[in-house]
Structure 1
């Protein structure tokens, strides 16, 4: 079972696509810099850790403006 659940995560962001994009970017960043904002994550994979950070409200994002 996914932790945190998709239902909880959908309350944090506006769409599944935004959730995937933010989590993937943060996971890549964690791989490169070897940093994480949660001290004792439940997940051991980078994407899972990114989802936990989103759930805790530690990540902010801005929507790009349409041209």
Structure 2
């Protein structure tokens, strides 16, 4: 079983695409600075740690107000 579950993550960020994008950006930040906000993370990889941060609400996503012109 995956931890954190996709269901609990989608309660925090409503789009799978956005979830992956936010987690990937945070994982790249962690690779450069090696700073994890969650204490005692279960995962050893940066992407897993980023997902744990999202699940613990230590990492938030605020959608932009920009609209795409058609």
| Aligned-CA RMSD value | 1.0
| Rg larger in structure | 2
The 4+ residue runs of structure 1 with deviation greater than 4 A are: none
Instruction: Kindly state the Cα deviation for residue 36 of structure 1 after the two structures are TM-superposed.
Output: 0.5
Q: TM-score under structure 1 normalisation?
A: 0.92
User: 1:48 is matched with which residue?
Assistant: 48
5+ residue gaps, structure 2, are none
User: 1:24 is matched with which residue?
Assistant: 24
How many Å separate the matches in 2 of 1:32 and 1:25?
11
The count of residues paired between Structure 1 and Structure 2 equals: 67
Q: TM-score under structure 2 normalisation?
A: 0.88
5+ residue gaps, structure 1, are none
